[in-house]
Structure 1
Amino acid sequence: MKGKCIKYYEFGRPQDVLKSENNKVTDPVSGELLVRMITRPINPSDIIPIRGAYSHRISLPAIPGYEGVGVVEEVGPSVSQELLGKRVLPLRGEGTWQDFVKIPEQYAVPIPSFMDDFIAAQLYINPITAWVICTQQLQLTSDDVLLINAGGSSVGRIFAQLSKIIGFRLIAVTRNGLYTDDLLNLGASHVINTSQDSLIDTVLELTEGQGATAAIDSIGGLEGTKLAFCIRPNGTLLMMGLLSGIPINGTEIVKRTNIHMRLFHLRHWNKQTTLQTWQETFHDLIELIQDSKLHLSQMGAAYHLFDVQEAVKKGEFLNKGKIFLTS
């Protein structure tokens, strides 16, 4: 069987380096599923590696895409035929920006009928990251104050909702006022617009001089470094993203603060977690969505997979909603 895929042979601007081509699709072996992809979101975590931020651990050529939803097309020996035609998340396997993805059966996450394809397709990267950080990494409670930057991002909006679900206070940092009302309605306690207010002074004022219990940096660079000086002694700065492409100044932070610095990558959690925890974590999130406690981004625009260059360009200017690549 043959399919189509998106591939890049060098790092650079996605519009320049992404190519569409044919690839050979081999039959699933014992314990594997072959999934025909339906749709996938475009996330910053998909784009940043293409630009070369993690070139030391990416072998070229590579097929991008960390999440998406599809239908089980074929099953390998020892896999139940009942899975044929079922919608699943084909995760922890190959890149999802292709027609067909093969994965081990145990990692496939079944999708319930109530959930549409566009919501299901974005159930992994941002929701799992935010949920694991809040409940397992930081173990936040009602006594805690969490500070995040990139507040208007998809994952920022999830943190805002989790603050209401779990009960901690959230201070979201943005660079303009576009997302203030939305974030407050979703559950954030405060939103700091750094184009108008001083970050450090405002955080200290909101926390009565104590600082935040923990902060999550999605940006890096100067903006990420500033978060460190908003955290109370023995608090935690957790680094989970690099939207700026520039690392934070760890040396400066160590010299001037008494906080703990930690790095979170979803792939590290994947390696450490058990299969039972993997499936239970998705089950918890699916329940929150079914109960209308957690809402993911709506579709902003959808492009065919092989119009990926146009989709990436559109994503740079889209303020609300998510861009999807469909098959």
Structure 2
Amino acid sequence: MAKAIRINAHGGPEAMTLEDVDVAAPAVGEARIRHTAIGVNFLDVYFRTGLYPAPNGLPLTPGHEAAGVVEEIGPGVHGIKVGDRVAYASAIGAYTTARTMPADKLVKIPEGVSDEEAAGMMLKGMTAEYLLRRTFEVKAGHTVLYHAAAGGVGLIFGQWAKHLGATVIGTAGSPDKVELARAHGFDHVINYREQNFVEEVAKITGGKKCDVVYDSVGKDTFEGSLDCLNPRGLFVSFGQSSGPIPPMNVGLLSQKGSLYMTRPTLFSYIGTRAELEESAGALFDVVKNGIVKIEINQRYPLAEVAQAHADLEGRRTTGTTILIP
């Protein structure tokens, strides 16, 4: 038996309950792993509330990333063995002490990266990887704006973008978060509660604005973000913590400078085994080499997941949050 968080009806943090569950023996192509640390992400909130539909309906065990140890493998599994430390970020059902899952979703954790780091960085770090290297290939000389700079993805993004040579502008909602973002690669951080971020971006850039805006906030920042882009700039919407972007007339993009707009997801960027290995490998490299430091600022026992979600939604967290099984 294992312990797992289950959602039997969509709702607030209280909708999650800790239950006993059976863990099946691995079938062909599967592995059973014992979790040592589990990542917490805003994506999990979307599934808990029902904003994103559960792939197999309810009941649902949420969570998308974790690290652990392989305890058993089924027939036809190659590349991992019993005892390996592994991590993943693309299989819903992570909020549990143990699980059986497709082995091709797992990547081995290299020496120099801890289980807690791996659990807290796979989804967020590979998100930063595709945003910086593939959705828009950030290079020296680019100016980028990133909203929610003190969040889990933001702190990884800032360090990595600075390493690539970009001028990195961020927004955050408190003096403490502003300072945290500055300490993680952001050249300029705007307190959006006290300053108009559109006006501040114009000042910082001398009116030239940004090549790309990365926005996981959504409704509250959408229109202002478009005003921060230079002609033919790219608006990247990859989340909606303040609510979904309202319906828009696509002509708005032409009015504001022939802008581009995209709504990517991590799962479209790691859809093949080769893409997964490339993304995870790039992430592990920058962490092992000290380019990106993964700071775990909140730890909760698995049984206290409701508090973890409440703190996340209340914007009382910074950096990475993990659950300890």
CA distance in 1, matches of 2:189, 2:70: 43
RMSD of aligned Cα (Å): 2.2
Q: Is the 8 A contact 2:10 2:50 kept in 1?
A: yes
Q: Which residue of 2 aligns with 1:136?
A: 134
Q: Which residue of 1 aligns with 2:170?
A: 172
Q: 1:270 aligned to 2:270?
A: yes
1:141 maps to a residue whose letter is K
Q: Which residue of 1 aligns with 2:309?
A: 312
2:13 maps to a residue whose letter is P
CA distance in 2, matches of 1:226, 1:80: 49
Instruction: Give the C-alpha shift of residue 80 in structure 1.
Output: 5.6
Instruction: Give the C-alpha shift of residue 57 in structure 1.
Output: 5.8
Instruction: Give the C-alpha shift of residue 115 in structure 1.
Output: 2.0
Q: 1:7 aligned to 2:6?
A: yes
Counterpart of 1:159 in 2: which secondary structure? Answer: helix
2:69 maps to a residue whose letter is V
- What TM-score do you get using the length of structure 2 for normalisation? 0.91
Q: Which deviates more, 252-261 or 99-108? A: 252-261
Q: Which deviates more, 161-170 or 315-324? A: 315-324
Counterpart of 2:300 in 1: which secondary structure? Answer: strand
CA distance in 2, matches of 1:299, 1:95: 23
CA distance in 2, matches of 1:21, 1:195: 41
After TM superposition, what 4+ stretches of structure 1 lie above 6 angstroms from structure 2? Answer: none
Q: 1:37 aligned to 2:35?
A: yes
Instruction: Give the C-alpha shift of residue 50 in structure 1.
Output: 0.8
Q: Is the 8 A contact 1:143 1:168 kept in 2?
A: yes
Cα distance 1:324–1:165, how it changes in 2: closer, same or farther (>3 A)? same
Unpaired runs of 5+ in structure 1? none
CA distance in 1, matches of 2:53, 2:213: 27
CA distance in 2, matches of 1:265, 1:58: 19
Q: Which residue of 2 aligns with 1:160?
A: 158
Q: Which deviates more, 206-215 or 127-136? A: 206-215
Cα distance 1:318–1:276, how it changes in 2: closer, same or farther (>3 A)? same
Q: Is the 8 A contact 1:145 1:213 kept in 2?
A: yes
Unpaired runs of 5+ in structure 2? none
Q: Which residue of 1 aligns with 2:204?
A: 206
1:102-121: per-residue Cα shift (whole Å, max 9, x none)?
Answer: 23223211112322221111
Q: Which deviates more, 194-203 or 166-175? A: 194-203
Counterpart among 45, 62, 73 of residue 47 in structure 1: 45
Q: Is the 8 A contact 2:215 2:237 kept in 1?
A: yes
Q: Is the 8 A contact 1:33 1:75 kept in 2?
A: yes
Query: 5 Å matches for 1:76-91?
Result: 76-79=74-77, 83-91=81-89
Q: Is the 8 A contact 2:296 2:322 kept in 1?
A: no
Instruction: Give the C-alpha shift of residue 220 in structure 1.
Output: 0.7
Query: 5 Å matches for 1:7-156?
Result: 7-15=6-14, 17-55=15-53, 59-79=57-77, 83-156=81-154
Instruction: Give the C-alpha shift of residue 198 in structure 1.
Output: 2.1
1:122-145: per-residue Cα shift (whole Å, max 9, x none)?
Answer: 121111011111111101111211
CA distance in 2, matches of 1:319, 1:119: 17
